[in-house]
Amino acid sequence: KAGVTQTPRYLIKTRGQQVTLSCSPISGHRSVSWYQQTPGQGLQFLFEYFSETQRNKGNFPGRFSGRQFSNSRSEMNVSTLELGDSALYLCASSLLGTGYTEAFFGQGTRLTVV
């Protein structure tokens, strides 16, 4: 059974640009959550999608957005990139959502904003 796949693994962008990250969950999983990891803030929750609907959102500015497709694949988008957006972005796949079933993480996308 394939795990959670995130693409790309590494990205370098310039301030002001926008970026789109992709996450393919484990087959059959309907919940996808996104997290940002930075050395200073640890792992911070961005948002969660379940069956194409955003059910929850963390405390991030509106520049951070996401969506989920009918096949449960998810994308997150960051517009008008800032230096502080440099981080490891992780997505987690869960059958029914955390609180009910385990969440499995992808390898992450390392975003560097210069």
Partner 1 sequence: DQQVKQNSPSLSVQEGRISILNCDYTNSMFDYFLWYKKYPAEGPTFLISISSIKDKNEDGRFTVFLNKSAKHLSLHIVPSQPGDSAVYFCAASVAGGTSYGKLTFGQGTILTVHP
Q: Which residues bind partner 1 (CB under 8 A)?
A: 4, 6, 31-33, 35, 42-43, 45, 47-50, 55-56, 58, 88, 90, 92, 94, 97-100, 102-108, 110
Q: Which is nearer to partner 1, 18 or 101 (CB)?
A: 101
What span, in angstroms and rounded, lies between the C-alpha atoms of 4 and 76?
Answer: 15
Output the smallest distance, CB 80 to partner 1, in A.
25
Output the smallest distance, CB 95 to partner 1, in A.
12
Please answer whether residues 93 and 5 qualify as being in contact, where contact means their C-beta atoms are separated by less than 8 angstroms: no
What span, in angstroms and rounded, lies between the C-alpha atoms of 69 and 54?
Answer: 11
Q: Which is nearer to partner 1, 41 or 80 (CB)?
A: 41
